[in-house]
Amino acid sequence: MKNIKTILKYLWYLFILSIIVSVVIVMYKNMGLISKFDFGAGAYYYTDIPNFEKYINNSIFKTKFSIWFLITLFLIWGVFVYKLWCYIDRKIEKDK
C-alpha cells in the first residue's frame, strides 16, 4: 500500500509538472491568440476583445431561462463544490 501511495505521489508531481510545461509552451508560442489584437495577458479573455460578437455566431446558443436563473444556478453549483471540497479535506485529514 505504501508503494502505491509513493507511485501516485510521483505521478501527481509529474502531472502538475506537465501542466506547467504545457502552460509555458502555450504562452511562449502565443497559441490561442488572435494575432491582430494585442492586449497583453488580457488577450486570453475574450471579453477584452472589442466586437468579439462578430467572431462568434450568437444565434446558435438560445435559452429559455433568464440570466438571473443561470447566475443563481452557477452560485448553487459553486456552493456545492465548496462543500464537497471541505468534506474531502476533512476525510483526508481524518485518514492521516
Is residue 26 in a domain?
A: no
Which of the 8 DSSP states describes residue 37? Answer: -
Looking at residue 86, its amino acid is: C
Is residue 72 in a domain?
A: yes
Is residue 85 in a domain?
A: yes
Distance CA 30, CA 26 (A): 6
Tell me what pLDDT residue 17 has. Answer: 96
Q: What is the pLDDT of residues 7-62, one digit of tens each?
A: 999 999 999 999 999 999 988 887 766 666 665 555 555 555 666 666 655 566 67
**Residue 84 or residue 50, greater confidence:** 84
Give the residue-averaged pLDDT of 72-78. Answer: 93
Query: Following DSSP, what letter does each residue of 45-71 receive, concatenated?
Result: SGGGSTTGGGGS-TTS---SS-HHHHH
Distance CA 96, CA 91 (A): 9
Is residue 19 in a domain?
A: no
Tell me what pLDDT residue 60 has. Answer: 60
Domains contained in the chain, number: 1
Range of the domain at 95: 63-96
